[in-house]
A and B are shown apart, each in its own frame.
Chain A
């Protein structure tokens, strides 16, 4: 029997880049097929070429043995290929029902039949064993539920193949469980599912087979149970297994803390409705990890320290001087830097160039009429593009054309250019690939060795454990524990979240 989906020799070039080079892919009905690869390996391009978002240069796609060539998403959906994208592509101000039926509303003589819409939405949700108030505004539900609604929308049309592009990147553990339950259910019903993620554990948890891409080429397709993790990673980054092992084993070395007087000292800092008052010291040459579940107040803590939100109690001392931050500007003047959790909304300036994005914070910290000359700007940009290995055709490339990992590096460069004393990194490795992740981790350690104080926020405990000399544990917007060198382990953190009061 022909496989559900068969892609043969798919190629796609963009000016100057060969994004896909003769890629093959076979997905059977009733399997979860993981698509793995670093950022820029061609995963998204493959999906987009598959669903007709942009035309392919060469290659063939067969669905159930029949050759197809959809020219847009709607056409692909009509054929039975539905996609749920990384960012939830729904309209927050419309109701759940409207979101599910948008673009295919049942009408009667041009008049929308609202009752039919609600019914259809309920049926679509029922297929996922969900019952929501379909007339409620979508934005009132959590991101996880919104994700489910997006899947329900995708399944509303009789889908044969469901593509999930990074569906779990903004979900917490229990929400991921919930999602996987639904995915397994769909698999049992005979759907083919293509699953794209950066989380290795999740791949092993849910997928049956893995296709690995690297630099636009297919490395291979492996049954998940026959592929050890370490080999998967080595396929993805194209390095031998031994090298990867060395990378993974490397654990932050200890005791480079240079002095005992903290770079930043927060006492009883808090804001109503945001974070309960907490104490926090960060010393030069130290990485302090901030661990906790999603919504435990990690980002809020960072926002208070950086002056994005104003605290309503407590003090911050920097170099034994009490400071008050009314805006990020004031924090920057005290040599604090922050890369925000939401790179797209609060990080990059999308249509400016790599150079402009890199020099922005440094320029903003100077007076605006003391403009960095073009020569200085170019030198600075080139230095960081090289130092952080930012993959961009030129420094004048518009930053939105870069991949996620490279955008993150541009942001890091922007702040390194200001030579900060304290660097707050809020989820610096979210949504970026293994290779870039390792580079960023290496960078953090080298910063620490140079005497910077780092506050490291991540929802991946493993990463926090590997990076930090001290870990502050948050739960329910409250600091509940502080683990020091020697006590830090994933178990200890989880134990602390589970039991501490």
Chain B
């Protein structure tokens, strides 16, 4: 009964949000997420079930929020990097480094958790700055420059953990990825706070404009007096910071630092999240909220497959198909072509439409007599 009411409320809110976004770029991202959730509402039993245990909420949708936090955090950094026309392949490896550093300080060196977290984040920032230096300072192609750390980063993480998987039980560290705040997973607060921080950083200042300008036309931005190198250095550094946070959440989730597996292939999910969010890989205009929703979409997809017992060996195949569909539908040209397929049905319905005055308004591009 309660489920029924809360579901209805959920869809009401979702519908209002979606309606208010019509005409905007992220409409299609949110719409895709809505379709996926709708599918689960009807075909995945228990997906919408929410349980209250000890004042905390539990359920598949909250799992999505909690598990998706990593990709959402990564996508915040990635979207800015991609907006400058670059890409950061090293974020997965930086996650592993952050996890290794924090666990080692916590367990082997017996440092307080505050120090462990701070040092891990600092080192992630340095890793990001290193990428920025290679790209902005030495002019190396972003894909090559960040590939260096993508490959070397896991080795560095292995060195830090000395090849061991370090387990920890420190309550602060465990809270990061598993705790609850206001009855909701703490990671949700973390993601929202980071989203707000990033938003203020890029839209509250002129940084966002500079990022888009550099991504759109590097040379012209230089002529206009923008320090393109500084902008690039900054976005890669920020991406490193986001990766560090995601790494801390990841190792907290499993209460251990596994240098080989933490953040593995997550850089690809983050890039995907950005693309699903409506930002072009060639740089320029970027959509911050879109990227986060894109991350949420990817996690919802993954959780859907878990919930439906699709083996994780084959789930990448349907996942790929869904993502291709989402990307295609974001392109207006494709939507038009697709719409034409249904034109005959539309024509058949014509009498009904005229009967009920449902005909669309005159097309604007028809020539006036």
- Point out residues on A near B: beta carbons under 8 Å: 11, 13-15, 18, 57-58, 306, 308, 327-329, 332, 338, 340, 345-352, 356, 360-361, 363-366, 368-372, 414
Q: Residue B224 at the A interface, CB < 8 A?
A: yes
How far is B135's CA from A243's CA once the two chains are assembled, in angstroms?
56
Q: Can you name 23 A-B pairs with beta carbons within 8 Å?
A: A11-B367, A13-B367, A57-B366, A58-B367, A306-B223, A327-B227, A329-B225, A346-B220, A346-B223, A347-B223, A349-B217, A351-B284, A352-B209, A352-B213, A356-B212, A360-B209, A360-B221, A361-B224, A364-B206, A364-B224, A369-B207, A371-B204, A414-B224
How far is B285's CA from A356's CA once the two chains are assembled, in angstroms?
12
Q: Residue B205 at the A interface, CB < 8 A?
A: yes
In the bound complex, do residue A368 and residue B225 qualify as a contact, i.e. CB atoms below 8 Å apart? no
How far is B223's CA from A340's CA once the two chains are assembled, in angstroms?
8
Q: Give the total number of A-B pairs whose CB atoms are below 8 A apart.
A: 93
Q: Determine which of B205, B217, B224, B364 lies in contact with A350 in the assembled complex, contact meaning CB atoms within 8 Å.
A: B217
Give B369 Cβ to nearest chain A Cβ, in Å: 9
How far is B206's CA from A366's CA once the two chains are assembled, in angstroms?
9
In the bound complex, do residue A349 and residue B213 qualify as a contact, i.e. CB atoms below 8 Å apart? yes
How far is B364's CA from A11's CA once the two chains are assembled, in angstroms?
15
B208-221: CB near A (< 8 Å → 1, else 0) gives 01101100110111
- Point out residues on B near A: beta carbons under 8 Å: 204-207, 209-210, 212-213, 216-217, 219-227, 284-285, 364-368
How far is B224's CA from A181's CA once the two chains are assembled, in angstroms?
41
In the bound complex, do residue B223 and residue A352 qualify as a contact, i.e. CB atoms below 8 Å apart? no
A308 — nearest CB in chain B belongs to which residue? B223
Give A383 Cβ to nearest chain B Cβ, in Å: 19
- Given contacts A11-B367, A328-B225, whether A352 and B212 have CB atoms under 8 Å apart is yes
Most chain B beta-carbon contacts within 10 A, residue among A306, A338, A369: A369
Most chain A beta-carbon contacts within 10 A, residue among B210, B222, B284: B222
In the bound complex, do residue A351 and residue B225 qualify as a contact, i.e. CB atoms below 8 Å apart? no
Give A377 Cβ to nearest chain B Cβ, in Å: 9
In the bound complex, do residue A361 and residue B217 qualify as a contact, i.e. CB atoms below 8 Å apart? no
B217 — nearest CB in chain A belongs to which residue? A349
In the bound complex, do residue B205 and residue A360 qualify as a contact, i.e. CB atoms below 8 Å apart? no
Known pairs A308-B222, A363-B210, A364-B210; list 8 more (Cβ under 8 Å): A57-B367, A327-B222, A328-B222, A347-B223, A360-B213, A360-B224, A363-B209, A368-B207
In the bound complex, do residue A364 and residue B223 qualify as a contact, i.e. CB atoms below 8 Å apart? no
Most chain B beta-carbon contacts within 10 A, residue among A57, A328, A372: A328
Write out the residue numbers on chain B whose beta carbons fall within 8 Å of the beta carbon of A352. Answer: 209, 212-213, 216, 284-285
Most chain B beta-carbon contacts within 10 A, residue among A340, A352, A414: A352
Write out the residue numbers on chain B whose beta carbons fall within 8 Å of the beta carbon of A350. Answer: 216-217
How far is B347's CA from A41's CA once the two chains are assembled, in angstroms?
38
- Given contacts A15-B364, A371-B204, A371-B205, whether A365 and B217 have CB atoms under 8 Å apart is no
A14 — nearest CB in chain B belongs to which residue? B365
In the bound complex, do residue A346 and residue B210 qualify as a contact, i.e. CB atoms below 8 Å apart? no
Q: Which 10 A-B pairs have the closest CB atoms?
A: A57-B367, A364-B225, A332-B225, A369-B205, A371-B206, A361-B224, A364-B226, A368-B206, A363-B206, A329-B225
Write out the residue numbers on chain B whose beta carbons fall within 8 Å of the beta carbon of A414. Answer: 224
- Given contacts A15-B364, A372-B206, whether A361 and B225 have CB atoms under 8 Å apart is yes
How far is B207's CA from A57's CA once the two chains are assembled, in angstroms?
43
- Given contacts A361-B224, A368-B210, whether A346 and B204 have CB atoms under 8 Å apart is no
Write out the residue numbers on chain A whose beta carbons fall within 8 Å of the beta carbon of B223. Answer: 306, 308, 328, 338, 340, 346-347
How far is B337's CA from A485's CA once the two chains are assembled, in angstroms?
64
In the bound complex, do residue B206 and residue A349 qualify as a contact, i.e. CB atoms below 8 Å apart? no
How far is B229's CA from A329's CA once the two chains are assembled, in angstroms?
12
Q: Determine which of A11, A58, A329, A348 lies in contact with B227 in the assembled complex, contact meaning CB atoms within 8 Å.
A: A329
In the bound complex, do residue B219 and residue A345 qualify as a contact, i.e. CB atoms below 8 Å apart? yes
Write out the residue numbers on chain B whose beta carbons fall within 8 Å of the beta carbon of A365. Answer: 225
How far is B212's CA from A356's CA once the two chains are assembled, in angstroms?
10
Write out the residue numbers on chain B whose beta carbons fall within 8 Å of the beta carbon of A356. Answer: 209, 212-213
B210 — nearest CB in chain A belongs to which residue? A368
How far is B209's CA from A372's CA once the two chains are assembled, in angstroms?
11
How far is B208's CA from A372's CA once the two chains are assembled, in angstroms?
12
Write out the residue numbers on chain B whose beta carbons fall within 8 Å of the beta carbon of A366. Answer: 206
How far is B214's CA from A349's CA once the two chains are assembled, in angstroms?
9
In the bound complex, do residue A349 and residue B225 qualify as a contact, i.e. CB atoms below 8 Å apart? no
Q: Determine which of B205, B221, B366, B368 lies in contact with A349 in the assembled complex, contact meaning CB atoms within 8 Å.
A: B221
Write out the residue numbers on chain B whose beta carbons fall within 8 Å of the beta carbon of A370. Answer: 205-206
In the bound complex, do residue B365 and residue A15 qualify as a contact, i.e. CB atoms below 8 Å apart? yes
B284 — nearest CB in chain A belongs to which residue? A351
Write out the residue numbers on chain B whose beta carbons fall within 8 Å of the beta carbon of A18. Answer: 368
- Given contacts A13-B365, A329-B227, whether A349 and B220 have CB atoms under 8 Å apart is yes
Write out the residue numbers on chain B whose beta carbons fall within 8 Å of the beta carbon of A308. Answer: 222-223
How far is B312's CA from A48's CA once the two chains are assembled, in angstroms?
51
A369 — nearest CB in chain B belongs to which residue? B205
Give B353 Cβ to nearest chain A Cβ, in Å: 24
Write out the residue numbers on chain B whose beta carbons fall within 8 Å of the beta carbon of A348. Answer: 217, 220
Write out the residue numbers on chain B whose beta carbons fall within 8 Å of the beta carbon of A340. Answer: 220, 223
Write out the residue numbers on chain A whose beta carbons fall within 8 Å of the beta carbon of B219. Answer: 345-346
Most chain A beta-carbon contacts within 10 A, residue among B204, B222, B224: B224
How far is B227's CA from A365's CA once the two chains are assembled, in angstroms?
10
Write out the residue numbers on chain A whose beta carbons fall within 8 Å of the beta carbon of B226. Answer: 329, 360, 364
Give B23 Cβ to nearest chain A Cβ, in Å: 13
Give A395 Cβ to nearest chain B Cβ, in Å: 15
How far is B364's CA from A424's CA once the two chains are assembled, in angstroms?
43
Most chain B beta-carbon contacts within 10 A, residue among A306, A348, A360, A370: A360
Give A362 Cβ to nearest chain B Cβ, in Å: 9
A365 — nearest CB in chain B belongs to which residue? B225
How far is B224's CA from A414's CA once the two chains are assembled, in angstroms?
8
How far is B206's CA from A370's CA once the two chains are assembled, in angstroms?
7
Give A313 Cβ to nearest chain B Cβ, in Å: 23
How far is B366's CA from A18's CA once the two chains are assembled, in angstroms?
11
B207 — nearest CB in chain A belongs to which residue? A368
Write out the residue numbers on chain A whose beta carbons fall within 8 Å of the beta carbon of B212. Answer: 349, 352, 356
Most chain B beta-carbon contacts within 10 A, residue among A306, A347, A356, A364: A364
Most chain A beta-carbon contacts within 10 A, residue among B217, B220, B367: B220
Most chain B beta-carbon contacts within 10 A, residue among A306, A340, A371: A371
Give A393 Cβ to nearest chain B Cβ, in Å: 14
In the bound complex, do residue B225 and residue A347 qualify as a contact, i.e. CB atoms below 8 Å apart? no
